[in-house]
Amino acid sequence: MKELILGGIRSGKSRLAEQRANDSGLEVVYVATAEVRDEEMRRRVAEHKVRRPEHWRSVESGPDLAAVLRREAQADRCMLVDCLTLWLTQLLCDDDETLLRREVDALLEALPALPGHIVMVANETNMGVVPMGELSRRYCDEAGRLHQCIAAICDRVTLTVAGLPLAIKG
């Protein structure tokens, strides 16, 4: 089972993903994609950690998310990836212009063959006006393309709004 949970900031997407992982009955490996660069991000990461059961194992992915998933995914394991759009942002900001395309392609290639239950969280940012800045527009374009490709692969896609899940697929 592969699923994508989308939503805005503080929409309840991570809580829903954590609940789905917990309900899977499988061993859970939490794949953290955020690079902590400031105090605000440190606080957000701490809030997420407090909610997670102590027996869940955490792995930090860095840019090579596909490699981490290939290494860690097993038939009797649930992988919870939080969050794809933070991962994408870090790739966009990297000095290596080719890194984003390589890593996104690697993820899209690896995902269909991964065993076990894969739950991925992503920020839905493309429901408003087109951003003014070039980097912001590129981010929205890349996130939109990534979400479409991931959603096509997934068995289930859910949009969260105000803490409420809306089934989009599956």
User: Tens digit of pLDDT for each residue in 137-147?
Assistant: 999 999 999 99
Any idea of the CA torsion for 135, 149, 20, 45, to the nearest 10 degrees? Answer: -20
Q: What is the pLDDT of residue 111?
A: 98
pLDDT digits (tens, 9 = 90+) for 104-120: 999 999 999 999 999 99
Average pLDDT over residues 156-166: 97
Instruction: Give the separation between CA 106 and CA 100, rounded to whole angstroms.
Output: 10
Percent above pLDDT 90 for the chain: 78
| Choice among 48, 55, 117, 147 that is catalytic | 48
Domains annotated for the chain, with CATH where assigned, are 2-169 (3.40.50.300)
Residue 127 in this model has a pLDDT that exceeds 90: no
Query: What's the mean pLDDT when you consider all of the chain?
Result: 94
Per-residue H/E/C for 1-34: CEEEEEECCCCCHHHHHHHHHHHCCCEEEEEECC
Quick one: pLDDT at residue 24?
Answer: 97
Helix then strand then coil, % of the chain, to nearest 5: 45, 25, 30
Please confirm, yes or no, whether 147 is among the known catalytic residues: no
